[in-house]
Amino acid sequence: MPRFLGLVLFLLISAPAANADDGYRLWLKYDLISNPALRKEYASIARFITCSENDPVSKTACLELQAGLQGLLGKPVPVQSSGFKPGTIELVLLPKGTPDTDNLGKDGFKIQPGRGRTAILAAHPSGLLYGAFEFLRYLQTEGKPGELSGVRRPRVQLRMLNHWDNPLGTIERGYAGASLWKWYELPETIDPRYRDYARANASIGINAVVLNNVNASARFLTPEYLPKVKALADVLRPYGIKVFLSINFASPKTLGKLKTSDPLDPQVRAWWQEKVREVYSYVPDFGGFLVKANSEGEPGPQEHGRTHADGANMLAEAFRPHGGLVIWRAFVYGPDPKGDRFKEAYQEFKPLDGQFAPNVIVQVKNGPIDFQPREPFHPLFGAMPKTPLAMEFQITQEYLGFSTNLVFLAPLFKECLDSDTYARGKGSTVARVIDGSVHDYPVTVMAGVANTGSDRNWTWHSMSQANWYAFGRLAWDHQLSSARIAEEWARMTLTQDPSAVATIKDILLGSRETYVRFTTPMGLHHIMGQGIHFGPEPWLARSARPDWTSIYYHRADTVGLGFDRTPQGSNALSLYAPETQQPWSDPNSCALPYLLWFHHVPWDKPLSSGRTLWDELCLQYYAGTDEVAAMQARWETVQPHVDPEWFADVRGRLAVQHREALHWRDACVLYFQTFSRKPLPPGLNPPKRTLEEMKRIVEIYQLR
């Protein structure tokens, strides 16, 4: 299929024709609605479009609405600048002072049917854009009458993708090809893919993008790269998307040739102020900086005897005249073999609460270790009432099987968002902390580490597109259910057949729990291969740091398994509110998914399942592998209703996933058996390979 040459051309030829679906169109498939009666009903309310605004974002909203309706309805939908006819959709920008404007906020909108027309009302152009996409989503998912009207506004102000893209075109933890950004062609050549990326983000409410890796090169702040950043900002702006950059904290020395990067040094402060001014000369609506400092070897203020607050506030001062933000990552930890990495970000940042400038946001990963398949929520959430905290999720599947495994992440995101911090009593969920409801944060942010790349279908594994979609929908409204998001995506992307949609939804909703079972059941964590973080390596005992090994976390011995984080162990449990601690504090009542996160449990201990720890561990590994086989069988049933290219892609990857699940099962069961010294539970067939054979297989994974 030829590459599309621009927005209008892309939209107008969005009908599938005879070509197979290669995944490029994502969920923005404005194909003809196959149900004639439904198509007729929708056509009666979408015969004309009125759009009188001339700003770039409003124009984009009008173009998207027109082209989407023409594809879905199979006939032209004229645009007029004024006037009224029955069946008109009006895009209306409300004047300042209108009663609805305060209620809608910057990005909200109201869809108001009645009197032969449908009005999409907003206080700002971005609201019109999001309203247009909501209207199209209603048609794509075959919405029912009465579902369309009402006010929608985002619960979080900045809904952001963090790209871990590098200057040379690689992506750290990227599994879908090279970087989207063709840095060496910019700014002269603008790939049409940039615009298609922007419209995909806008369609799910994403309004901010960090272009480069948090392990940042200072090169991005040079006159060589700033024109390239400007070119991308110019493409993204009509879709309501602001550009941010990750920066290297040592840039004053690297670029400015200063003797120090000490944030309290006057020359350093002056250098950053001038550099920020220079950035804004290229991108007047620039969003700000994302900073990884004093983490995993990255430079930061602590090298100069200063705190994270000192470093963040120095940058915040430079941004204050321009209205920009500093987003400071809390992912910090030291290599202490006797410590607990679980506690270290809390111990560093909690004492700094209230010391950060008003335009600083501290960005916290969803869990205390590092994007594991399952983690308890990070204890910093709810613990910093005076400092806005941003959520950082990972959409790319660094610890979740890369792009050979089908793992739908909405349940993982929801598990964290719905957790109760009890910061101000019951109901102080993580979601309500980050949206500002609990502590009245003036700025709110939810970020996701992007899973996109240069592969034609954007995410390599076709089904991983659902994770990009899910992140955007939850960043807009964290109260949406995983089931609703899965059904929306399936209907917009794959099929409208009710039976097939139900099957695909069930596969998606169960996939994350299946992955946990065959990799890290019952609270095991960080036992994957080092370096690339792929495949099982529970025997890993040596690395550059003790907390990069597996034995640091699972603590297996002849007595039992698991990391004791009670008062008798590291006491990491004490970082949570008493109400949060209580369900996790007693190994006799702790829910099995978190048991080994918080307790070192004897192999013979009976669990709530009625089985011993050893028997339950083995059964979980075997059940997870069997569930992958069941996913394969269920996928076969949707073949008549899914595009052949899509179907074949997913079928092949599920076969790979089953092979990898067997590797995980056999490696972990055989390794932990050397400590438990117990036979497998009755009914389970022993692995056909030895532990030494599994170690040789897994060693191949780590070759680079």
Residues designated as active site:
296, 370, 398
Sign of CA dihedral 493, 494, 497, 499: negative
| Number of neighbours of residue 360 by Cβ within 10 angstroms | 24
Query: H or E stretch including 58?
Result: helix 56-73
Q: b or e along 464-503 (b: 16 or more beta carbons within 10 Å of the residue's beta carbon)?
A: bbbbbbbbbbbbbbbeeebeebbbbbbbbbbbbbeebbeb
Strand order through the sheet with 150-152: 79-80, 48-51, 88-93, 117-122, 109-114, 150-152
Compute how many other C-beta atoms are within 10 angstroms of the C-beta atom of residue 210.
26
Determine the Cα–Cα distance for residues 561 and 295; give it in Å rounded to an integer: 29
Contacts of residue 105, Cβ cutoff 8 Å, sequence gap at least 6: 123, 153, 154
C-alpha 394: how far from its chain's center?
A: 5
Q: What residues contact 186, with CB distance under 8 A and at least 6 apart?
A: 227, 228, 231, 232
> With contact defined as beta carbons under 8 Å apart, do 289 and 361 qualify?
no
Separation CA 661–CA 697 (nearest Å): 13
Q: Extract the tokens encoding 399.
A: 């610890």
Helices 56-73, 192-203: axis angle to 10 degrees equals: 80
Contacts of 353 (CB under 8 A, 6+ apart): 383, 384, 385, 386, 387
CA distance 37 to 25: 26
Say whether 278 sits in a helix, a strand or coil. helix
Name the amino acid, one letter, at 500.
Answer: A
**Cβ pair 289, 245 in contact under 8 A:** yes
Q: Which CB contacts under 8 angstroms, 24+ apart, belong to 138-142?
A: 139/33, 139/42, 139/46, 139/68, 139/69, 139/72, 140/27, 140/29, 140/30, 140/72, 140/491, 140/492, 141/487, 141/488, 141/491, 141/492, 142/33, 142/35, 142/38, 142/491, 142/496
d(CA 163, CA 149): 35
H/E element, 288: strand 288-291
Omega before residue 442 within 30° of 0, cis: no
What SS3 state is found at 258?
A: coil
Q: Are 350 and 307 in contact (CB under 8 A)?
A: no
What is the β-pairing status of strands 445-449 and 560-561?
A: unpaired
Residues 230, 231, 232, 236, CA torsion sign: positive
Q: Which two tokens stand for residue 484?
A: 């609703």
CA atoms within 13 A on the CB side of 526: 23
Torsion sign over Cα 203, 207, 211, 213: negative
Q: How far apart are CA 532 and CA 222, in angstroms?
A: 31
What's the rounded Cα separation, in Å, for the pair 666 and 618? 10
